[in-house]
Amino acid sequence: MTTTLTIRSAAGTYPVVIGPGILSEVGSRLRAQTGDPDGGVFIVTDDTVHALGYADVVQQSCTRAGYAATVTVVPPRDESKSLEMANTLYDRMLDAGIRRNGVVLAVGGGVVGDLAGFVAATYLRGIRFAQIPTTLLAHDSSLGGKVGVNLSRGKNLVGAFHPPIAVWYDVQTLASLPEREWRGGMTEVIKHALIGDKTLFAELAATPMDRYPGDDAAERLVARAAAVKIAVVEADERESGQRMWLNVGHTVGHAVEQLSHYQLNHGEAIAMGLCVEAQLALDLGLADTETRDQISFVLVRHGLPTVPPAFDFTEVVRVLNLDKKHRSNEWTFVLPVRIGRVDIVHGVTETALHKAWQQVLTGEENQK
């Protein structure tokens, strides 16, 4: 069984196919969707995913479907999302003879998807690419068309909007995820439930999915979280309004992730960010205590951390002020106001954030 969702974007509509066994169908699906195999296929993956054989399965399926397909492997770290690595990939693509009608396939998690997508967006002024996620976290990053690389001064400072021609999501790849990676991915599932699926949120609170739940349950879980994201990005592809909702937990979370020098994974940092931002919403009178506590509860139930390391708060402020989403001298946050609803809040002050940060760190508010 597979579930197929579709995303309407300014550049056209593309399918999101979720289910078991899709990896070996990529070649035939690509051929059915695009026709002519001329132009070549360029598969990008990372060492970890490559060792599991997934890119090879994709390559073989492409070869069977008549494509000349090459695999390029990058280190499995966020540092691979760099202009230098993009430059290396351009060279490999020229070596492989990839033409304007060629296709880039990203087989892996968010790092591979963002990097390969950026390269596809800029090589020969943009060629097609498809996302083949192999992590739970990538149910988020693979949808919506955002691609990019990091600069030394911050994440995703360089990039593009370049929607894929398809997302082919083989949930069986998720069975091989280390538990920590699975749980980190659950943060974004929980975030999507918090934004737009309160039933899913309640189900996860009652019956946590803190490990791979089997093919059918994984397919349903991914499809429901993806459906929330799709609805949001369809309403606002270029992030002028509603798409900002997806940043709930991410303003603080990104700062925490960066200050941890990526020793915390993305999901862990965002879990902490959600808790600080829920406290901030409570302090500002936008959310009630129960909402804050439910958010913390469901994260804890999934083995996720809820209290950030005791970073120097002035460092947190410094990183926040580098964030591309902030204009001038005010901070804009997306805060949870109740389960199933988040709001964009302008004019958040350093003082208010400092208070919420301290409360989460010391657990002070909880003891009242």
Smaller CB distance to its own copies: residue 322 or 361? 322
In whole angstroms, give the CA distance from residue 61 to residue 29: 10
User: Does residue 172 touch its own copies according to CB under 8 A?
Assistant: no
User: Does residue 122 touch its own copies according to CB under 8 A?
Assistant: yes
User: Does residue 32 touch its own copies according to CB under 8 A?
Assistant: no
Catalytic residue among 139, 146, 162, 192: 146
> In 3-state terms, what secondary structure has residue 147?
strand
- Does 110 show up as a binding residue in the annotation? yes
Q: How many CB atoms lie within 10 A of CB 46?
A: 21
Ramachandran category for residue 75: left, alpha or beta (phi over 0 → left; psi -120 to 50 → alpha):
beta
Q: Does the annotation mark 50 as catalytic? A: no
Q: How far is the CB of 330 from its own copies (least distance, A)?
A: 11
Residues 325-354 that bind its own copies (CB under 8 A): 325-328
- Does 117 show up as a binding residue in the annotation? no
Among 34, 60, 156, 242, binds its own copies (CB under 8 A): 156
Q: How far is the CB of 335 from its own copies (least distance, A)?
A: 20
User: Does residue 160 touch its own copies according to CB under 8 A?
Assistant: yes
The burial of 334, by beta-carbon neighbours within 10 Å (0-12 exposed, 13-18 middle, 19 or more buried), is given as buried
The burial of 330, by beta-carbon neighbours within 10 Å (0-12 exposed, 13-18 middle, 19 or more buried), is given as exposed
Smaller CB distance to its own copies: residue 14 or 357? 14
Please spell the DSSP secondary structure of 261-299, one letter per residue.
TT-S-HHHHHHHHHHHHHHHHHHTTSS-HHHHHHHHHHH
Q: How far is the CB of 152 from its own copies (least distance, A)?
A: 9
Q: Does the annotation mark 261 as catalytic? A: no
Smaller CB distance to its own copies: residue 223 or 348? 348
DSSP state of 79: G
For tokens 């993305």, the residue is 266
Smaller CB distance to its own copies: residue 110 or 148? 148
Q: Which residues 6+ apart lie within 8 Å of 281 measured at CB?
A: 287, 291, 292, 335, 336, 337, 345
User: Does residue 157 touch its own copies according to CB under 8 A?
Assistant: yes
Q: How far is the CB of 139 from its own copies (least distance, A)?
A: 21
Smaller CB distance to its own copies: residue 83 or 217? 83
Scored b (16 or more CB within 10 A) or e, 97-126 reads: ebeeebbbbbbbbbbbbbbbbbbbbbbeee
Q: How far is the CB of 3 from its own copies (least distance, A)?
A: 29
Q: How far is the CB of 159 from its own copies (least distance, A)?
A: 4
In whole angstroms, give the CA distance from residue 186 to residue 221: 10
User: Does residue 87 touch its own copies according to CB under 8 A?
Assistant: yes
In whole angstroms, give the CA distance from residue 4 to residue 316: 41
Interface pattern 37-76 for its own copies (x via CB under 8 A): -xx-------------------------------------
As annotated, the binding site for NAD(+) includes 110-114, 134-135, 146, 155
Catalytic residues: 125, 146, 188, 229, 239, 243, 247, 250, 254, 266
Enumerate binding residues for its own copies (CB under 8 A).
10, 38-39, 83, 86-87, 90-91, 94, 99-101, 121-126, 146, 148, 151, 153-154, 156-161, 322, 324-328
